[in-house]
Amino acid sequence: MKVGAMLRAHARRHPEKTAIVLGEETLSFAQLDERSDRIANALLDRGVKTGERVVVYVGNSLALVELIAGVWKSGAILVPVTTWITGPELAFMVSDCTPVMIIHGPDQTDAVDEALKDAGDVARVFIGDNAPAGTETLEALVASGAAQPPPALAALPDDGMISYTSGTTGRPKGAIITQASMAVQVNLTSTMWGIPPDPVLLVSTPLAHRTGLSRLVACYCQGATVVVLPRFDVKAAIEAIGRHKVTVFGGVPTVVRMLLDGLDDADDRCDSLQFIMATGEAFPVPLKHRLFKRLPNARLISFYAMTEAGSPAALMHEQQLDKPDSVGRPVPGMEVRLMGEDNVEVAQGEAGEIQVRCGEPGKLILLREYWNRPEANAASFDGHWFKTGDVGRFDEDGFLYLVDRVKDMIVSGGLNIYSKEVEQALETHPAVSQAAVVGAPDDEFGECVVAFIVAHDPVDAAAVIDHCRTRIASYKKPKHVIFTDELPHNVTGKMIKTELREQAIAKIAELAG
């Protein structure tokens, strides 16, 4: 099941139908199919082989939409990188996946220069004019490719993407997602959620991030029209929904709140919305009531999701107020079990690690494995069961509740932030001796990053935060910095983060007055 073949089928059925809208620019399915064919053929002409990695480090644009489809049609493995990522983060990904090509825009040039310093021979393709010396432009690459379907891909191998997820060790892991799993997931979930044919989807997040990318796969595989915002802006989102009669909007609860804040009582521009898909953080019940009152025709579906396993569970619209704290029941086709520390399934009502299965990994929805991580693969799989690292419990009606995280992770604005990664960035500052990072409640983003710092030289919070901006993506940087003489440890030397969280909550309350 190849994504490119499904895109081609939609282009043949409905060549003039709008596939992508971005501002005043549009792409029909015929145009998207031809442009991605040219890219695929150009990659093959340059010697890119099936299974070789192509990094696409580009912001939301028609070019990115074409590139993703073109890479998949060529048989290469896409490595999508959001423009949030900094030079050191990109350098690690490049060293880990060893790409043969990196495609980027002018704003990413410095980060790419840094990442490729020790990377050997990696071809570069530049989006825009004034390309650096020795760098091919995207338009030249596209123009050189034949406007015909590239050779058909073999059924196997089917690896389509390496999606990097932050790790508890501070080093991201690359989840290998097959083309089949992407196609199956979007079709299964759309059927489960009852989304009718010909939806119009709005993407307000980066297309290179898992949420935006899933909407793009819906375009390729289902023939959906996708309206893309260059970046999230409330006014632009409301205008786009009204102008293009968007029927499906996805976002974290924070974004839904911002959307409602932007609508007055007489504004009917969002009345076309039929479905609101939410994930990434808890959806407050008062916000649900507000949403249902303001947009009574929109169905809210919230779901438990992760890069490695898609959306194992979903809470349907009718259940939102009956089971408000639940992430829903397992999606049909996905098996979910809860395992105790003795690797025995726990009784109903008891908490255990959430493990999921959907056939053989890589063939349906689960990741195939982590790239170049044999130890992580051994630790993450029990046969065909994937260990999520989250702790949950089932109630008597089969609804799943998240109890805790085994992984030390903060969810801020729907984005996963692993504290170890932030701690490592903080500890590269010359004045910092030790750092510990925890999450604390935040009215705007659900959770925020709070850093506790032991410093051996004078330094202020602003300098520490600015330093983080150079080492990790900006959304991962601390919102609050608390200086302390020492960090709490138990008798075995383990950091007592529960104590730090309590301190962080108290400090934030104090600052709020």
Considering Cα of 224, then 230, then 231, then 233, what sign does the dihedral take?
Answer: negative
How high is the pLDDT of residue 108? 95
Rounded mean pLDDT, 363-388 = 95
Q: What is the pLDDT of residue 167?
A: 59
Domain boundary residue among 158, 179, 200? 179
**For the purposes of burial, counting CB atoms within 10 Å of the CB of 53, is it exposed (0-12), middle (13-18) or buried (19 or more)?**
buried
Q: Averaged over 220-224, what is the pLDDT? A: 96
Mean pLDDT over 269-290 rounds to: 89
Last residue of a domain, one of 132, 155, 179: 179
For residue 253, the model assigns a pLDDT of 84
User: Considering the domain boundaries, does residue 5 fall inside one?
Assistant: yes
Mean pLDDT in the chain? 92
**212 located within any domain:** no
Check residue 406 and give its pLDDT: 62
Let me know if residue 323 belongs to a domain. no
Contact 476, 490 (CB under 8 A): no
Q: Mean of the pLDDT values across residues 332-361?
A: 93
At how many degrees (to 10) do helices 210-222 and 62-74 cross?
Answer: 70
CA contacts within 13 A on the Cβ side of 161: 29
Please report, as a single letter, which amino acid is at residue 486: E
pLDDT of residue 492: 46
**Count of the separate structural domains present in the chain:** 2
Of 443, 436, 464, 448, residue with least CA distance to 411: 448
Q: For position 170, what pLDDT does the model report?
A: 61
Query: Which comes out higher in pLDDT, residue 300 or 495?
Result: 300
Tokens encoding 351: 């908490």
As a whole number of angstroms, the distance between CA 341 and CA 376 comes to 18
Residue 173 lies in a domain: yes
Q: Which of 133, 149, 179 is the last residue of a domain?
A: 179
Please, where are the H alpha helices in 299-398? 374-380
Amino acid present at 124: R
Instruction: Identify the band that residue 360 occupies on the pLDDT scale cut at 50, 70 and 90.
Output: very high
Instruction: Give per-residue pLDDT as tens, 404-433.
Output: 666 677 888 888 787 888 888 898 999 998
Strand, helix or coil for residue 252: coil
Per-residue pLDDT of 188-211, as tens digits, reads: 888 888 898 899 999 988 999 888
Of 3-7, 79-83, 122-126, 469-473, the least confident:
469-473
pLDDT of residue 420: 80
Q: Long-range contacts of range 290-293, CB-CB < 8 Å, 24 or more positions apart?
A: 290/260, 291/256, 291/260
Query: Is position 96 within any domain?
Result: yes
DSSP state of 345: B
Give the pLDDT confidence score for residue 407 in this predicted structure. Answer: 64
The pLDDT assigned to 284 comes to 81
Tokens describing residue 238: 């409301």
In a domain, 200, yes or no: no
Residue 186 corresponds to which amino acid? V
CA–CA distance from 154 to each of 50, 78, 186 (Å)?
9, 17, 22
Residue 104 located in a structural domain: yes
Assign residue 119 the CATH number of its domain. Answer: 3.40.50.12780
pLDDT in tens, 35-79: 999 999 999 999 999 999 999 999 999 999 999 999 999 999 999
pLDDT tens across 235-279, in order?
A: 999 999 999 999 999 888 888 988 999 998 889 999 999 999 998
CATH number reported for the structural domain that contains residue 445 in this entry: 3.30.300.30
Average pLDDT over residues 456-463: 93
Domain that holds residue 496: 413-512
Residue 136 domain-assigned (yes or no): yes
